[in-house]
Amino acid sequence: MLKRKNSIKAYEKAKEFIPGGVNSPVRAFLSVGQTPPFIIKGKGAYMSDIDSNRYVDFVQSWGPLIFGHANNAVEKAAIKAIKNGLSFGAPTEVETKLAQTLCSIFPSIEKIRFVSSGTEAVMSAIRLARGYTKKDDIIKFKGCYHGHSDSLLVQAGSGAATFGSPSSPGVPEDFVKHTLLADYNDIKSVEKCFKESDNIACVLIEPIAGNMGLVPADIEFLEALGKLCDKYNALLIFDEVMSGFRASLKGAQGFTEVMPDIVTLGKVIGGGMPVGAFGGKKEIMSCLSPEGAVYQAGTLSGNPVAMSAGLENINKILKDKKLYERLNSLAKALMRGFKESAAKEGISLQVCVRGSMFGFFFNEKEVKNFDDALKSDTKRFAAFHKKMLERGFYFACSQFETGFICDAMNEKIIQKTINAAGKVFKEIK
């Protein structure tokens, strides 16, 4: 049995001073009915908790750690920056170096601005789109998560495409009245939104959704989406905070020729430090203050520690020409092993891989959108998660999250994981 005494004690203490005992809701492990392990350290593919349990970590800080925990080169770059000062609130050359590197990788990004989180990046991108187009409404998709800013915390109304209503207390109706909802991978629902409003500034999408589980947008859907945006003079925003540098070197843009007007990035570009960014065509980005009238600012934006760690992370990626080939191979092997092992026990498992990202659903049919995802057997997932954790394998604590492979993993680790999963499938069938 997994030792939990110290984590349980730490969790109870945390709940005295922190709402729910966590600083981001999913960490509470409520959807899998467990007490969250309190982590004390990580190295490579592994991390350890305060009860001395050691786990193979398939979360990797929810994506940033493409080279694993405490990578020596990234760690060294951050420490070097720290020794010169944690933050200045003034320009540094490393900001320009990282910006130049990112612009050289993404053909859709000519200029970029750094912020401190993915939420902030998307929030700022929407404001920029509204300022540029001088229109107010936005379209988002059910099941796509773009951070916790007010205009994006909406739930579906009565129709497939409708103006949203708040999905969280504290969000006024007026804040979301300009947000329209469409169904992922359903172009007709997007067309309906455009017919309902002639005031749409942008369409916001995770081109590779990672927050309803791993659900990539169909290439044909993205192509049709781009044409609709052109037709109605709306900007297309790709939220690649999660998929950027994870699905491929160019994120979703490594799979499609569709050119977004604005891209949001995060996670990997900070190497584990808090960071976000949004970038696009010069014509659009020049609307930002101080060049233009659209205001956006942040005291710790582009801080040298995050920029240095991120630049080293990206440079390591660029130097390793076979990185994504290796990571993709491991991810495919893991999901193939899971699917085959589940099938032996009569369990229907839908799996998906994009680069170093993977996802699996306890579902009878392929998942193409959020409604499909909601039909998954979450109780069986919770049982699977608990038994895998007890065996030392740490997966995202929700059926609706994505897993990640890091470069510190190898075929031996993957096979051990598959072997453990096979035993668990037998127990939960």
Write the pLDDT tens digit of every residue in 180-195.
Answer: 999 999 999 999 999 9
**347-377 pLDDT per residue, tens:** 999 999 999 999 999 999 999 999 999 999 9
- Give the residue with greater pLDDT, 158 vs 256: 256
**pLDDT higher than threshold 80 for residue 46:** yes
Residue 239 a catalytic site member = yes
pLDDT tens digit sequence for 262-320: 999 999 999 999 999 999 999 999 999 999 999 999 999 999 999 999 999 999 999 99
Extents of the domains making up the chain: 5-70+322-428, 72-319
Q: E strands along 35-136, which residues? A: 39-43, 46-49, 54-57, 111-115
Q: What is the reported pLDDT for 158?
A: 28
How large is the average pLDDT for residues 192-214? Answer: 96
Q: What is the pLDDT of residue 147?
A: 87
Residues in contact with 104: Cβ distance below 8 Å, sequence separation at least 6, in sequence order: none
pLDDT over 50 at 159, yes or no? no
CATH, domain range 72-319: 3.40.640.10
SS3 state at 219: helix
What's residue 340's pLDDT?
Answer: 98
Q: How far, in Å, CA of 365 to CA of 423, rounded?
A: 23
pLDDT (tens digit, 9 = 90+) per residue, 366-417?
999 999 999 999 999 999 999 999 999 999 999 999 999 999 999 999 999 9
Q: Say which of 49, 57, 137, 239 is annotated catalytic.
A: 239
Residue 145 is a catalytic residue: yes
Residue 134 among the catalytic residues = no
Q: What is the pLDDT, as a whole number, of residue 161?
A: 33
Check if the beta carbon of residue 404 is closer than 8 Å to that of residue 58: yes
Q: Enumerate residues 6+ apart whose C-beta is below 8 A from 26.
A: 396, 397, 398, 401
Cα–Cα distance, 180 to 170 (Å, whole number): 19
pTM of the complete model: 0.95
Does pLDDT of 42 surpass 70?
Answer: yes
52: left (phi over 0), alpha (psi -120 to 50) or beta: left
CA–CA gap between residue 138 and residue 35 (Å, rounded): 38
**Is residue 166 very low, low, confident or very high in pLDDT (cuts 50, 70, 90)?**
low
Catalytic residue among 267, 372, 386, 394: 267
- H/E element holding 309? helix 304-319
Instruction: Please report the pLDDT score of residue 1 as a whole number.
Output: 72
Q: What is the pLDDT of residue 157?
A: 34
- Alpha-carbon gap, residue 363 to 241, rounded angstroms: 27
Helix (H, G, I), strand (E, B) or coil at 277: strand
Angle, alpha carbons 394-276-318 (nearest 5°) = 75
Closest CA to 425 of 367, 380, 365: 380
Q: What is the per-residue pLDDT across 57-94, written as a single tens digit (0 to 9) for each?
A: 999 999 999 999 999 999 999 999 999 999 999 999 99
Measure the CA–CA gap between 403 and 62, rounded to whole angstroms: 8
**Residue 96: what pLDDT?**
98
What architecture does CATH give domain 5-70+322-428? Alpha-Beta Complex (3.90)
Task: Report the relative pairing of strands 111-115 and 276-280 from DSSP bridges.
Answer: antiparallel
Is the pLDDT at 10 greater than 80? The verdict is yes
Over 90: is that where the pLDDT of 177 sits? no
Confidence band (pLDDT; 50, 70, 90) for 150? confident
* 3-state SS record for 194-214: HHHCCCEEEEEECCEECCCCC
Q: What pLDDT was estimated at residue 173?
A: 77
pLDDT of residue 155: 62
Query: Both tokens of residue 337?
Result: 């092993």
pLDDT at 107 over 50: yes
Q: Please, which pLDDT band fits residue 165 given cuts at 50, 70 and 90?
A: low
Task: Say which of 46, 55, 132, 145 is annotated catalytic.
Answer: 145
